[in-house]
Structure 1
Amino acid sequence: MESPKYKRVVIKLSGEALAGELGYGLEHKILDSIAQQVKEIVSIGIEIAIVVGGGNIWRGVSGSARGMDRATADYMGMLATVINALALQDALESRGVPTRVLSAIEMRQVAEPYIRRRAIRHLEKGRVVIFAAGTGNPYFSTDTTAALRAAEIEAEVILMAKKVDGVYDSDPKKNPDAQKFKELTYIDVLNKGLGVMDSTATSLCMDNNIPLIVFSILEEGNIKKVLMGEEIGTIVGREQNG
Protein backbone atom coordinates (compact mmCIF):
# COMPACT_ATOMS: atom_id res chain seq x y z
CA MET A 1 0.00 0.00 0.00
CA GLU A 2 1.24 3.49 -0.85
CA SER A 3 2.48 5.39 2.19
CA PRO A 4 0.75 8.63 3.24
CA LYS A 5 2.31 11.96 2.31
CA TYR A 6 1.88 13.42 5.82
CA LYS A 7 2.43 12.07 9.32
CA ARG A 8 0.77 14.72 11.54
CA VAL A 9 -2.00 17.00 10.28
CA VAL A 10 -4.58 19.48 11.47
CA ILE A 11 -8.04 19.26 9.93
CA LYS A 12 -10.06 22.47 10.13
CA LEU A 13 -13.77 21.68 10.00
CA SER A 14 -16.03 24.65 9.49
CA GLY A 15 -19.31 24.74 11.35
CA GLU A 16 -21.07 25.25 8.02
CA ALA A 17 -19.61 21.98 6.74
CA LEU A 18 -20.98 20.14 9.78
CA ALA A 19 -24.42 21.57 9.07
CA GLY A 20 -24.40 20.02 5.59
CA GLU A 21 -27.49 20.73 3.51
CA LEU A 22 -29.45 21.76 6.60
CA GLY A 23 -27.56 25.06 6.81
CA TYR A 24 -27.73 25.06 10.62
CA GLY A 25 -27.19 22.66 13.52
CA LEU A 26 -25.58 19.27 12.94
CA GLU A 27 -26.30 16.90 10.07
CA HIS A 28 -25.61 13.39 11.35
CA LYS A 29 -24.88 12.07 7.86
CA ILE A 30 -21.94 14.49 7.62
CA LEU A 31 -20.72 13.63 11.15
CA ASP A 32 -20.87 9.92 10.34
CA SER A 33 -19.00 10.44 7.06
CA ILE A 34 -16.23 12.47 8.74
CA ALA A 35 -15.90 9.95 11.58
CA GLN A 36 -15.59 7.04 9.14
CA GLN A 37 -12.98 8.87 7.05
CA VAL A 38 -10.95 9.80 10.15
CA LYS A 39 -11.09 6.19 11.37
CA GLU A 40 -9.58 5.02 8.07
CA ILE A 41 -6.68 7.45 8.15
CA VAL A 42 -5.91 6.84 11.83
CA SER A 43 -5.64 3.14 11.00
CA ILE A 44 -2.74 3.84 8.60
CA GLY A 45 -0.76 5.69 11.26
CA ILE A 46 -1.52 9.35 10.56
CA GLU A 47 -1.75 11.58 13.65
CA ILE A 48 -4.91 13.68 13.46
CA ALA A 49 -5.82 16.89 15.26
CA ILE A 50 -9.13 18.58 14.45
CA VAL A 51 -10.15 22.20 14.96
CA VAL A 52 -13.91 22.73 14.78
CA GLY A 53 -15.74 25.95 14.01
CA GLY A 54 -19.10 26.96 15.46
CA GLY A 55 -20.80 28.86 12.65
CA ASN A 56 -23.56 26.24 12.35
CA ILE A 57 -24.74 27.25 15.84
CA TRP A 58 -23.53 30.81 16.47
CA ARG A 59 -21.27 33.34 14.79
CA GLY A 60 -19.68 35.97 17.02
CA VAL A 61 -19.30 38.46 14.17
CA SER A 62 -23.02 38.35 13.30
CA GLY A 63 -23.93 38.74 16.98
CA SER A 64 -21.66 41.76 17.20
CA ALA A 65 -23.24 43.23 14.06
CA ARG A 66 -26.61 43.19 15.85
CA GLY A 67 -25.26 45.35 18.65
CA MET A 68 -24.04 42.67 21.05
CA ASP A 69 -20.73 43.23 22.82
CA ARG A 70 -18.08 41.66 20.53
CA ALA A 71 -16.21 39.81 23.28
CA THR A 72 -19.44 38.32 24.64
CA ALA A 73 -20.54 37.26 21.15
CA ASP A 74 -17.17 35.63 20.52
CA TYR A 75 -17.26 33.70 23.81
CA MET A 76 -20.68 32.38 22.80
CA GLY A 77 -19.13 31.23 19.52
CA MET A 78 -16.40 29.41 21.45
CA LEU A 79 -19.04 27.51 23.42
CA ALA A 80 -20.70 26.54 20.12
CA THR A 81 -17.41 24.91 19.03
CA VAL A 82 -17.45 22.80 22.21
CA ILE A 83 -20.89 21.44 21.26
CA ASN A 84 -19.54 20.50 17.82
CA ALA A 85 -16.41 18.95 19.33
CA LEU A 86 -18.44 16.73 21.67
CA ALA A 87 -20.70 15.62 18.81
CA LEU A 88 -17.65 14.73 16.72
CA GLN A 89 -16.03 12.92 19.65
CA ASP A 90 -19.16 10.83 20.10
CA ALA A 91 -19.26 9.94 16.39
CA LEU A 92 -15.60 8.88 16.46
CA GLU A 93 -15.74 6.89 19.67
CA SER A 94 -18.85 5.03 18.52
CA ARG A 95 -16.52 3.67 15.81
CA GLY A 96 -13.83 2.71 18.30
CA VAL A 97 -11.53 5.67 17.61
CA PRO A 98 -9.86 6.93 20.83
CA THR A 99 -10.49 10.67 21.06
CA ARG A 100 -9.73 13.56 23.39
CA VAL A 101 -11.39 16.99 23.41
CA LEU A 102 -9.02 19.74 24.58
CA SER A 103 -10.72 23.04 25.35
CA ALA A 104 -9.06 26.45 25.48
CA ILE A 105 -11.77 27.45 28.00
CA GLU A 106 -11.63 25.26 31.07
CA MET A 107 -14.67 23.02 31.55
CA ARG A 108 -13.38 19.90 33.22
CA GLN A 109 -16.69 18.02 33.24
CA VAL A 110 -16.71 17.70 29.43
CA ALA A 111 -13.16 18.31 28.17
CA GLU A 112 -9.51 18.42 29.16
CA PRO A 113 -7.86 21.84 29.39
CA TYR A 114 -5.61 22.61 26.42
CA ILE A 115 -1.96 21.92 27.27
CA ARG A 116 0.45 21.71 24.34
CA ARG A 117 2.56 18.82 25.65
CA ARG A 118 -0.55 16.85 26.57
CA ALA A 119 -1.97 17.34 23.07
CA ILE A 120 1.26 16.07 21.50
CA ARG A 121 1.33 13.05 23.83
CA HIS A 122 -2.25 12.13 22.88
CA LEU A 123 -1.28 12.29 19.20
CA GLU A 124 1.79 10.11 19.78
CA LYS A 125 -0.46 7.53 21.45
CA GLY A 126 -2.70 7.39 18.37
CA ARG A 127 -5.60 9.39 19.77
CA VAL A 128 -7.52 11.91 17.70
CA VAL A 129 -7.30 15.31 19.37
CA ILE A 130 -10.18 17.76 18.93
CA PHE A 131 -9.37 21.37 19.79
CA ALA A 132 -12.42 23.25 21.09
CA ALA A 133 -13.21 26.81 22.23
CA GLY A 134 -10.94 28.46 19.69
CA THR A 135 -7.86 30.13 21.17
CA GLY A 136 -9.83 31.01 24.31
CA ASN A 137 -9.67 34.68 23.34
CA PRO A 138 -12.24 36.93 21.67
CA TYR A 139 -11.45 38.59 18.33
CA PHE A 140 -9.65 35.48 17.03
CA SER A 141 -11.33 33.08 14.61
CA THR A 142 -11.18 29.30 14.59
CA ASP A 143 -9.10 29.66 11.38
CA THR A 144 -6.49 31.41 13.52
CA THR A 145 -6.87 28.59 16.06
CA ALA A 146 -6.07 26.05 13.33
CA ALA A 147 -2.94 27.97 12.31
CA LEU A 148 -1.82 28.44 15.93
CA ARG A 149 -2.40 24.83 16.99
CA ALA A 150 -0.74 23.52 13.81
CA ALA A 151 2.36 25.57 14.62
CA GLU A 152 2.32 24.46 18.27
CA ILE A 153 2.06 20.72 17.58
CA GLU A 154 4.35 20.96 14.52
CA ALA A 155 1.76 19.68 12.05
CA GLU A 156 2.91 19.34 8.45
CA VAL A 157 -0.25 20.69 6.81
CA ILE A 158 -3.68 22.15 7.53
CA LEU A 159 -6.59 20.56 5.70
CA MET A 160 -9.40 23.11 5.24
CA ALA A 161 -12.50 20.94 4.95
CA LYS A 162 -15.29 23.05 3.48
CA LYS A 163 -18.55 22.80 1.54
CA VAL A 164 -16.80 23.94 -1.67
CA ASP A 165 -14.18 21.91 -3.55
CA GLY A 166 -11.41 24.51 -3.53
CA VAL A 167 -10.68 28.24 -3.78
CA TYR A 168 -12.39 30.26 -6.52
CA ASP A 169 -11.91 33.82 -7.77
CA SER A 170 -15.57 34.51 -6.94
CA ASP A 171 -18.50 32.69 -5.32
CA PRO A 172 -19.21 29.62 -7.52
CA LYS A 173 -22.78 29.52 -6.23
CA LYS A 174 -23.46 33.02 -7.56
CA ASN A 175 -21.13 33.01 -10.56
CA PRO A 176 -21.22 29.91 -12.81
CA ASP A 177 -18.07 31.20 -14.57
CA ALA A 178 -16.02 31.36 -11.35
CA GLN A 179 -12.49 30.04 -11.87
CA LYS A 180 -10.98 27.54 -9.45
CA PHE A 181 -7.35 27.92 -8.41
CA LYS A 182 -5.14 24.83 -8.31
CA GLU A 183 -2.29 26.53 -6.43
CA LEU A 184 -1.93 29.84 -4.59
CA THR A 185 0.69 31.56 -2.48
CA TYR A 186 -0.10 33.07 0.92
CA ILE A 187 0.48 36.52 -0.59
CA ASP A 188 -2.07 35.76 -3.35
CA VAL A 189 -4.66 34.94 -0.68
CA LEU A 190 -3.94 38.17 1.21
CA ASN A 191 -3.71 40.47 -1.82
CA LYS A 192 -6.79 39.10 -3.60
CA GLY A 193 -8.88 38.93 -0.44
CA LEU A 194 -9.79 35.29 -1.11
CA GLY A 195 -11.98 33.66 1.52
CA VAL A 196 -9.61 30.81 2.38
CA MET A 197 -9.07 31.97 5.96
CA ASP A 198 -8.82 35.37 7.60
CA SER A 199 -5.69 37.50 7.25
CA THR A 200 -4.42 36.81 10.78
CA ALA A 201 -4.56 33.04 10.20
CA THR A 202 -3.03 33.32 6.71
CA SER A 203 -0.13 35.44 8.02
CA LEU A 204 0.49 32.93 10.82
CA CYS A 205 0.64 30.08 8.30
CA MET A 206 2.98 32.12 6.09
CA ASP A 207 5.31 32.98 8.98
CA ASN A 208 5.53 29.32 10.02
CA ASN A 209 5.51 27.89 6.48
CA ILE A 210 2.45 25.69 7.06
CA PRO A 211 0.75 24.75 3.77
CA LEU A 212 -3.03 24.65 3.42
CA ILE A 213 -5.13 22.34 1.31
CA VAL A 214 -8.71 23.49 0.69
CA PHE A 215 -11.13 20.75 -0.40
CA SER A 216 -14.73 19.58 -0.12
CA ILE A 217 -15.70 17.52 2.90
CA LEU A 218 -19.02 16.60 1.30
CA GLU A 219 -17.43 14.04 -1.03
CA GLU A 220 -16.78 10.70 0.66
CA GLY A 221 -13.11 9.73 0.93
CA ASN A 222 -11.63 13.15 0.20
CA ILE A 223 -9.65 13.39 3.45
CA LYS A 224 -7.77 10.18 2.68
CA LYS A 225 -7.20 11.23 -0.94
CA VAL A 226 -5.54 14.46 0.20
CA LEU A 227 -3.36 12.70 2.78
CA MET A 228 -2.21 10.14 0.23
CA GLY A 229 -1.04 12.98 -2.01
CA GLU A 230 -3.85 13.03 -4.55
CA GLU A 231 -4.22 16.48 -6.11
CA ILE A 232 -7.71 17.65 -5.28
CA GLY A 233 -8.90 21.07 -4.16
CA THR A 234 -6.51 24.02 -3.89
CA ILE A 235 -3.10 24.10 -2.21
CA VAL A 236 -1.84 27.30 -0.60
CA GLY A 237 1.84 27.71 0.23
CA ARG A 238 5.02 29.50 -0.71
CA GLU A 239 6.10 29.99 -4.30
CA GLN A 240 7.80 26.94 -5.75
CA ASN A 241 11.18 28.68 -5.80
CA GLY A 242 10.58 30.42 -2.48
Structure 2
Amino acid sequence: MATAESEQMAAIVATFAPLMKQQGFRKRRHCFNRTMDSGLVHVANFWQHPKEPAAWTEVSGLRERRYGTFRLDFGVYVPEIKRGGSPRSDWINDYNCHLRRTAGQLEGAQHDMWLPIDDPESVEHTQRSLEEFGFPWLARFASHDAVLDEFHRYGAVGIGMSPAGGLDIADMLIALGRQQEARSVLEGYVSRSVLKSHGQYLSDYLRDRGHPDLVDRIQTHEPTPS
Protein backbone atom coordinates (compact mmCIF):
# COMPACT_ATOMS: atom_id res chain seq x y z
CA MET A 1 0.00 0.00 0.00
CA ALA A 2 1.38 3.38 -1.02
CA THR A 3 2.17 5.85 1.73
CA ALA A 4 2.19 9.62 1.53
CA GLU A 5 5.99 9.50 1.67
CA SER A 6 6.30 6.98 -1.16
CA GLU A 7 3.95 9.02 -3.34
CA GLN A 8 5.96 12.17 -2.65
CA MET A 9 9.16 10.30 -3.48
CA ALA A 10 7.70 9.08 -6.77
CA ALA A 11 6.69 12.65 -7.60
CA ILE A 12 10.24 13.91 -6.97
CA VAL A 13 11.70 11.21 -9.22
CA ALA A 14 9.14 12.05 -11.92
CA THR A 15 10.20 15.69 -11.73
CA PHE A 16 13.73 14.75 -12.75
CA ALA A 17 12.86 12.04 -15.28
CA PRO A 18 12.92 14.45 -18.28
CA LEU A 19 16.34 15.79 -17.28
CA MET A 20 17.69 12.27 -16.83
CA LYS A 21 16.30 11.21 -20.21
CA GLN A 22 17.94 14.25 -21.79
CA GLN A 23 21.24 13.05 -20.31
CA GLY A 24 20.78 9.60 -21.87
CA PHE A 25 19.41 7.71 -18.87
CA ARG A 26 16.68 5.07 -18.80
CA LYS A 27 14.38 4.84 -15.77
CA ARG A 28 13.18 2.01 -13.57
CA ARG A 29 11.30 3.18 -10.48
CA HIS A 30 13.73 5.43 -8.58
CA CYS A 31 16.86 4.29 -10.44
CA PHE A 32 18.37 5.47 -13.73
CA ASN A 33 20.85 3.69 -16.05
CA ARG A 34 22.96 5.11 -18.87
CA THR A 35 25.02 2.68 -20.97
CA MET A 36 28.13 4.22 -22.50
CA ASP A 37 29.66 3.27 -25.87
CA SER A 38 32.42 1.52 -23.89
CA GLY A 39 29.88 -0.76 -22.19
CA LEU A 40 30.28 0.93 -18.81
CA VAL A 41 26.99 1.80 -17.11
CA HIS A 42 26.35 5.01 -15.20
CA VAL A 43 23.80 4.83 -12.40
CA ALA A 44 21.90 7.52 -10.52
CA ASN A 45 19.61 6.37 -7.73
CA PHE A 46 17.10 8.33 -5.66
CA TRP A 47 17.24 6.32 -2.45
CA GLN A 48 14.33 6.75 -0.05
CA HIS A 49 15.24 5.91 3.52
CA PRO A 50 13.28 2.85 4.68
CA LYS A 51 10.83 3.06 7.52
CA GLU A 52 12.30 2.22 10.90
CA PRO A 53 10.87 -0.81 12.79
CA ALA A 54 8.18 -0.15 15.37
CA ALA A 55 10.53 -1.08 18.22
CA TRP A 56 13.29 1.18 16.89
CA THR A 57 14.39 3.88 19.34
CA GLU A 58 15.76 7.24 18.26
CA VAL A 59 18.88 8.48 20.05
CA SER A 60 19.60 12.15 19.45
CA GLY A 61 22.97 12.68 17.80
CA LEU A 62 23.59 8.96 17.38
CA ARG A 63 20.61 7.30 15.74
CA GLU A 64 18.02 9.56 14.19
CA ARG A 65 14.76 8.72 12.49
CA ARG A 66 15.19 9.32 8.75
CA TYR A 67 12.02 7.93 7.23
CA GLY A 68 10.59 10.67 5.04
CA THR A 69 14.01 11.62 3.65
CA PHE A 70 16.04 10.59 0.61
CA ARG A 71 19.52 10.89 -0.79
CA LEU A 72 21.06 10.76 -4.25
CA ASP A 73 23.62 8.05 -5.07
CA PHE A 74 25.83 7.70 -8.14
CA GLY A 75 27.77 4.74 -9.45
CA VAL A 76 29.73 3.28 -12.35
CA TYR A 77 29.43 -0.37 -13.32
CA VAL A 78 32.33 -2.00 -15.19
CA PRO A 79 31.14 -5.28 -16.78
CA GLU A 80 34.64 -6.77 -16.94
CA ILE A 81 34.93 -6.66 -13.14
CA LYS A 82 33.42 -9.87 -11.76
CA ARG A 83 35.37 -10.50 -8.55
CA GLY A 84 32.27 -9.80 -6.47
CA GLY A 85 29.83 -11.58 -8.77
CA SER A 86 27.57 -10.39 -11.59
CA PRO A 87 24.16 -8.66 -11.61
CA ARG A 88 21.12 -10.89 -11.85
CA SER A 89 19.74 -8.98 -14.84
CA ASP A 90 20.72 -6.41 -17.46
CA TRP A 91 19.50 -3.65 -15.16
CA ILE A 92 22.23 -2.22 -12.95
CA ASN A 93 21.41 -1.10 -9.41
CA ASP A 94 23.62 1.19 -7.38
CA TYR A 95 24.84 -1.73 -5.25
CA ASN A 96 26.11 -3.47 -8.41
CA CYS A 97 28.46 -0.58 -9.15
CA HIS A 98 32.22 -0.79 -8.70
CA LEU A 99 32.67 2.96 -8.25
CA ARG A 100 30.19 4.60 -5.89
CA ARG A 101 29.63 8.06 -4.46
CA THR A 102 26.74 9.75 -2.68
CA ALA A 103 25.80 13.32 -3.52
CA GLY A 104 26.90 14.28 -0.03
CA GLN A 105 30.37 12.83 -0.59
CA LEU A 106 30.71 14.66 -3.89
CA GLU A 107 29.65 17.91 -2.24
CA GLY A 108 32.15 17.46 0.58
CA ALA A 109 29.63 16.84 3.37
CA GLN A 110 30.97 15.19 6.51
CA HIS A 111 27.92 12.91 6.82
CA ASP A 112 25.30 11.40 4.53
CA MET A 113 23.09 14.15 3.20
CA TRP A 114 19.43 13.19 3.69
CA LEU A 115 16.88 15.57 2.20
CA PRO A 116 13.29 15.88 3.50
CA ILE A 117 10.83 14.55 0.94
CA ASP A 118 8.22 17.18 1.83
CA ASP A 119 10.56 20.19 1.57
CA PRO A 120 10.38 22.07 -1.78
CA GLU A 121 14.00 23.13 -1.31
CA SER A 122 15.01 19.47 -1.61
CA VAL A 123 14.08 19.58 -5.29
CA GLU A 124 16.29 22.62 -5.83
CA HIS A 125 19.12 20.96 -3.93
CA THR A 126 18.76 17.78 -5.98
CA GLN A 127 18.88 19.76 -9.22
CA ARG A 128 22.12 21.36 -8.10
CA SER A 129 23.54 18.02 -6.95
CA LEU A 130 22.89 16.47 -10.34
CA GLU A 131 24.14 19.30 -12.51
CA GLU A 132 27.11 20.50 -10.45
CA PHE A 133 28.34 17.26 -8.89
CA GLY A 134 26.71 14.03 -10.09
CA PHE A 135 26.82 14.48 -13.86
CA PRO A 136 30.40 15.87 -13.84
CA TRP A 137 31.59 12.99 -11.64
CA LEU A 138 30.02 10.38 -13.91
CA ALA A 139 31.48 12.13 -16.97
CA ARG A 140 34.97 11.37 -15.63
CA PHE A 141 34.32 7.65 -16.19
CA ALA A 142 33.09 7.27 -19.75
CA SER A 143 35.52 4.51 -20.73
CA HIS A 144 37.86 1.87 -19.35
CA ASP A 145 40.87 4.09 -20.04
CA ALA A 146 39.20 6.94 -18.16
CA VAL A 147 38.64 4.66 -15.15
CA LEU A 148 42.27 3.54 -15.31
CA ASP A 149 43.56 7.11 -15.57
CA GLU A 150 41.50 8.25 -12.59
CA PHE A 151 42.63 5.20 -10.61
CA HIS A 152 46.28 6.05 -11.25
CA ARG A 153 45.63 9.67 -10.33
CA TYR A 154 43.55 9.27 -7.17
CA GLY A 155 43.80 5.63 -6.08
CA ALA A 156 40.98 3.13 -5.58
CA VAL A 157 39.32 4.76 -2.57
CA GLY A 158 39.69 8.19 -4.16
CA ILE A 159 37.41 7.22 -7.04
CA GLY A 160 34.81 5.43 -4.95
CA MET A 161 36.15 1.88 -5.06
CA SER A 162 36.91 -0.39 -2.11
CA PRO A 163 40.45 -0.45 -0.68
CA ALA A 164 40.97 -3.64 -2.72
CA GLY A 165 39.88 -1.86 -5.89
CA GLY A 166 43.31 -2.35 -7.42
CA LEU A 167 42.44 -6.04 -7.83
CA ASP A 168 39.29 -5.05 -9.71
CA ILE A 169 41.26 -2.72 -11.96
CA ALA A 170 43.68 -5.57 -12.68
CA ASP A 171 40.74 -7.86 -13.53
CA MET A 172 39.37 -5.22 -15.88
CA LEU A 173 42.69 -5.02 -17.68
CA ILE A 174 43.05 -8.80 -17.85
CA ALA A 175 39.59 -9.08 -19.40
CA LEU A 176 40.60 -6.46 -21.97
CA GLY A 177 43.73 -8.45 -22.85
CA ARG A 178 46.07 -5.85 -21.34
CA GLN A 179 48.15 -8.27 -19.29
CA GLN A 180 51.24 -6.13 -18.82
CA GLU A 181 49.23 -3.20 -17.48
CA ALA A 182 47.42 -5.57 -15.12
CA ARG A 183 50.77 -6.87 -13.92
CA SER A 184 51.92 -3.32 -13.21
CA VAL A 185 48.79 -2.60 -11.16
CA LEU A 186 49.28 -5.80 -9.14
CA GLU A 187 52.94 -4.99 -8.51
CA GLY A 188 51.82 -1.67 -7.10
CA TYR A 189 49.17 -3.39 -4.98
CA VAL A 190 51.62 -5.80 -3.31
CA SER A 191 54.11 -3.00 -2.69
CA ARG A 192 51.87 -1.78 0.14
CA SER A 193 51.11 -3.66 3.34
CA VAL A 194 47.62 -5.16 3.62
CA LEU A 195 45.62 -6.38 6.59
CA LYS A 196 46.66 -9.83 7.75
CA SER A 197 43.11 -11.08 7.22
CA HIS A 198 43.40 -10.09 3.53
CA GLY A 199 46.74 -11.81 3.02
CA GLN A 200 45.49 -15.33 2.26
CA TYR A 201 42.82 -14.05 -0.12
CA LEU A 202 45.44 -11.99 -1.93
CA SER A 203 47.76 -15.00 -2.20
CA ASP A 204 44.99 -17.10 -3.74
CA TYR A 205 44.00 -14.25 -6.06
CA LEU A 206 47.54 -13.80 -7.39
CA ARG A 207 47.97 -17.52 -8.03
CA ASP A 208 44.60 -17.71 -9.75
CA ARG A 209 45.47 -14.78 -12.03
CA GLY A 210 48.82 -16.29 -13.02
CA HIS A 211 51.16 -14.21 -10.86
CA PRO A 212 52.40 -16.65 -8.17
CA ASP A 213 55.79 -14.92 -8.10
CA LEU A 214 54.15 -11.88 -6.50
CA VAL A 215 52.96 -13.86 -3.48
CA ASP A 216 56.33 -13.56 -1.73
CA ARG A 217 56.09 -9.77 -1.96
CA ILE A 218 52.92 -9.61 0.15
CA GLN A 219 53.35 -7.67 3.39
CA THR A 220 50.69 -7.81 6.10
CA HIS A 221 49.88 -5.99 9.32
CA GLU A 222 47.38 -6.29 12.14
CA PRO A 223 44.49 -3.81 12.28
CA THR A 224 45.07 -0.66 14.28
CA PRO A 225 43.35 -0.89 17.70
CA SER A 226 40.33 1.39 17.90
TM-score range for the pair, normalised by the shorter chain length: under 0.3
Higher helix share: 2
Between structure 1 and structure 2, the one with the greater Rg is: 2
**What is the TM-score normalised by the length of structure 1?**
0.26
Report 1 or 2 for greater relative contact order, CA contacts < 8 Å, sequence distance ≥ 6: 1
